[in-house]
Amino acid sequence: MKILITGGAGFIGSHLCKKFLDRGDRVVCIDNFITGSKENVRGLIGNNNFTLIEHDISKPFVIEEDIDWVLHFAAIASPNDYLAHPIKTLKSGLLGTHNCLGLAKLKKAKFFLASTSEVYGDPLIHPQPEEYWGNVNTIGERSCYDESKRGAEALTYAYHRQHNIEIRIVRIFNTYGPNMQLDDGRVVSNFIVQVLKGKALTIYGKGTQTRSFCFVDDLIEGILKLMDIKYLLPINLGNPSEYTMLELAKKVMEITGLSSKITFFKLPQDDPKRRKPDITKATKILKWKPRIDIDEGLKRTIEYFSKKISLGKKEAV
């Protein structure tokens, strides 16, 4: 297949690029590197089936070759980044989605939207099924990301209904693993980097808020399964095992064998108190469920960050 991936140099996008290339597909990767990294795809450059294009997806673009799939994974998804770039976040989610849907229409390609559990906001029901419409503050600090994805879903369905584009939408819950940025502000990378550098672990609120963490390999498997069937409604992908922030901090320290102090800060505005996917549909429809538990996933992620931090120290010298 010929597959275009926006945000292909990002955390999840780079894993997808490698997966498709490994199975013999042709991949066109588009990224403007505002949050993605060329390092994530450096090993793919030189592959005859791989093309890297530096471009801001919120601006119109043209691809000359035929495309079978447009996978829209470009997004400013980490809190540090979307709070620093709220307008760019909205543009990538809204204008970027519009541009990608236009390309899919032109090429008669299938369209895949990477949405997010953030469409549920600070949920009032738990766990969150796909039918839940969410509890989102439309003008809060997080709204630039939340509403960009809610709007992207609406755009996707508008194109599906009006232009009969075949679509897939995955709502991704907290995912972690290699190729995450050192400073992206997500809790798993924060804790790992902080403990490896001997710094205090930062917890917001009392640390009792929960998240459910899915290792990236499991997520990629779910995405591929969704591409292989014709299912046009949004579907949750995530690991339903739920941990408080304090429990996660202790696990990171246990696995690294290192200890750090924990410092507490005020809980950010609209930060969800609980987050856990209902994956009933993914289990039934995709025959999918996560296989890598938190201990194994953290071990692999810690190994990745340890190498990255060591390499950074050598380069600094």
CATH, residue 129:
3.40.50.720
- Average pLDDT of 151-159? 98
Is there a domain that residue 317 lies in? no
* pLDDT for the residue numbered 153: 98
**Residue 15 CB neighbours (<10 A):** 22
Is there a domain that residue 284 lies in? yes
CA 292 – CA 290 distance, rounded (Å): 6
Catalytic residue among 82, 120, 132, 145: 145
Is there a domain that residue 252 lies in? no
CA 159 – CA 307 distance, rounded (Å): 44
At 8, the amino acid letter reads G
Does the annotation mark 145 as catalytic?
A: yes
Per-residue pLDDT reduced to its tens digit, 112-131:
999 999 999 999 999 999 99
* pLDDT for the residue numbered 101: 98
Per-residue pLDDT reduced to its tens digit, 264-315:
998 888 788 889 999 999 999 999 999 999 999 999 999 999 999 987 665 6
Is there a domain that residue 315 lies in? no
Q: What is the total count of domains within the chain?
A: 1
CA 63 – CA 258 distance, rounded (Å): 49
| Residue 195 near residue 253 (C-beta atoms within 8 A) | yes
**Residue 257 backbone dihedrals phi, psi, to 5 degrees:** 75, 15
* pLDDT for the residue numbered 317: 42
**Residue 34 CB neighbours (<10 A):** 16
Domain region containing 222: 2-176+214-239+276-291
| 51 three-state secondary structure | strand
Is there a domain that residue 89 lies in? yes
Question: Over the Cα atoms of the chain, what is R_g?
Answer: 19
| 244 three-state secondary structure | strand
Model confidence at 97: pLDDT above 70: yes
Model confidence at 103: pLDDT above 70: yes
Is there a domain that residue 112 lies in? yes
CA 113 – CA 237 distance, rounded (Å): 13
Is there a domain that residue 29 lies in? yes
Residue with tokens 């590197």: 33
| Residue 137 near residue 288 (C-beta atoms within 8 A) | no
Is there a domain that residue 12 lies in? yes
**Mean pLDDT of the chain, nearest integer:** 95
Per-residue pLDDT reduced to its tens digit, 13-69:
999 999 999 999 999 999 999 999 999 999 999 999 999 999 999 999 999 999 999
CA 240 – CA 213 distance, rounded (Å): 8
User: Could you tell me how far CA 35 lies from the centroid of its own chain?
Assistant: 12
- 165-179, 220-234, 264-278: least confidently modelled range: 264-278
